[in-house]
Homo-oligomer: A and B are copies of this chain.
Amino acid sequence: MGHNQLTNAGSLAPKFIMIQSRAQITVRYAETDMMGVVYHGSYLPWFEVGRTTLLKENGLSYRDLEAAGYLLPVLEVSVKYLKPARYDDVLTIVTTLAEKPILRIQLSYEVRRDDELLVTGQTSHAFIDREGRPVRPPANFTARMNELFSGRQP
């Protein structure tokens, strides 16, 4: 759980808690385009790597969620491209869950090459079942989120 950023401004102040995770990827040749840099669409799978990692580091496997019948499709995505990433770059995907998810899960992303911020993005998600109907999050997901955002982590 060492990747989580827990900030507590003092016992009397309201707590500000956010969950953050870092994943590292190396740019593949397939992820470039003829502009000579990374294709703008290639960042979406990396965001996905970011959120898979964030869930996993916090004890939740998206694979298991799906196996239990809970799907978490992307409802919205937005991306800003500040600087291009290039083939063979080692990049860090910083994924942040800033608020305890109620109906929607809102995640934000930064793609960094060392100190340089290359790309930022956001996604929002909601749980659906196999038939595509909106459903409440699974109990273990809700319990884990309550735990994480209470600041009472083991």
Number of copies: 4
Kindly list chain B residues whose C-beta atoms are within 8 Å of the C-beta of A40.
Answer: 44, 73-74, 77
A35 B71 Cβ-Cβ under 8 A: yes
Contact of A39 with B49 at beta-carbon distance under 8 Å, contacts A63-B88, A76-B80, A77-B79 already known: no
Q: Does A48 contact B (CB under 8 A)?
A: yes
The A21-40 residues at the B interface (CB cut-off 8 A) are 26, 28-37, 39-40
Nearest B residue to A51 via CB reads B29
Contact of A29 with B52 at beta-carbon distance under 8 Å, contacts A35-B71, A35-B73, A73-B35 already known: yes
- Tally of chain A residues near chain B (CB < 8 A): 37
Q: Does A135 contact B (CB under 8 A)?
A: no
Bound together, the chains give a CA A30 to CA B42 distance in angstroms of 9
Q: Does A75 contact B (CB under 8 A)?
A: yes
Q: Does A84 contact B (CB under 8 A)?
A: yes
Q: Does A2 contact B (CB under 8 A)?
A: no
Q: Which of B34, B48, B63, B84 contacts A37 (CB 8 A)?
A: B34
Bound together, the chains give a CA A148 to CA B1 distance in angstroms of 43
